[in-house]
Amino acid sequence: MTNRKGTLIVLSGPSGTGKGTVLKHFFENYADDKIKLSISATTRSPREGEVNGVNYFFVEKDKFETMIENDMLLEWAAFCGNHYGTPKAFVDENLENGCDVILEIEVQGALKVMEKRPDAVFVFIAPPSMEELKSRIVGRNTETDDVIDKRMETAKWEVKNISKYTYAVVNDDIDKAARKLKTIVDAERLKVEKINLQF
């Protein structure tokens, strides 16, 4: 199994599907040390408790722009005045070392990665239904009606792109969804191109 290159697994889905929670549960319960979570770079300030190099790579805006110019990001986007992106180096070093890397990004970012990395595996975390998604977003009780409508608009566009993904996991139960993610990771390791057989 030496020399086996890792697999890039891109996880996305609409805001409110609980993809972050599924991923956290996966890493706490089902991951081994051969799979790493990609750490994003961001220009936003660290929130309380966030650690540089653990939650994010916190960088200044001009540093981020240099990263864009030097093609050091796999994808990047701007949200609420801040930049977020995926540093290539972390991803590629781990893949070369035979580790799988999971990337949690927005659907828009995932579509960009599909072009650049057709050998990656794309997992769509889907809500059981759009009604359920809406009630989850409403249930957070933190958003105005306008924001909720905007989110649902975006979510409708996002689910339309599901057929471009490799796998779909419906998140109706966090543990089940995390185990399905493990099944996908395990199966990808059995792909013939990932196995080093010496005959």
Regarding 57 and contact with its own copies (CB under 8 A), the answer is: no
H or E element at residue 63 = helix 61-69
Task: Tell me the one-letter amino acid at 130.
Answer: M
Stretch that binds its own copies, among 30-38, 47-55, 123-131, 139-147 (CB under 8 A): 123-131
From candidates 39, 148, 168, 174, binder to its own copies by CB under 8 A: 168
Mark the segment that binds its own copies (CB under 8 A) among 5-13, 51-59, 65-73, 180-188: 180-188
Q: Say how many C-beta atoms besides its own lie within 10 A of residue 55's C-beta.
A: 14
Angular region, 150: left φ>0, alpha ψ -120 to 50, beta rest? alpha
Residue 126 lies near its own copies (rule: CB under 8 A): yes
Only segment of 30-38, 104-112, 136-144, 161-169 that touches its own copies (CB under 8 A) = 161-169
> Residue 19 or residue 83: which is nearer to its own copies going by CB?
19
The SS3 call for residue 37 is strand
Q: Does 183 bind its own copies (CB under 8 A)?
A: yes
For its own copies, the closer CB: 138 or 168: 168
Q: Could you say which of 53, 94, 165, 172 contacts its own copies (CB under 8 A)?
A: 165
Residue spans of beta strands (DSSP E) within 43-108 = 56-58, 73-79, 82-87, 100-104
Stretch touching its own copies by CB under 8 A, among 63-71, 80-88, 90-98, 160-168: 160-168
Rounded distance, CA 7 to CA 102, Å?
Answer: 8
Taking alpha carbons only, the member of 116, 182, 162, 195 closest to residue 13 is 162
Rule CB under 8 A: say whether 125 interacts with its own copies.
no
Question: Is residue 98 within 8 Å of residue 6, measured between CB atoms?
Answer: yes
In the complex with its own copies, the residue whose CB is nearer, 61 or 176, is 176
Q: Which helix (H) or strand (E) holds 123?
A: strand 121-126
Contact set with its own copies (CB under 8 A) = 124, 126, 129-130, 156, 159-160, 162-163, 165-170, 180, 183-184, 186-188, 190-193, 195, 197-199
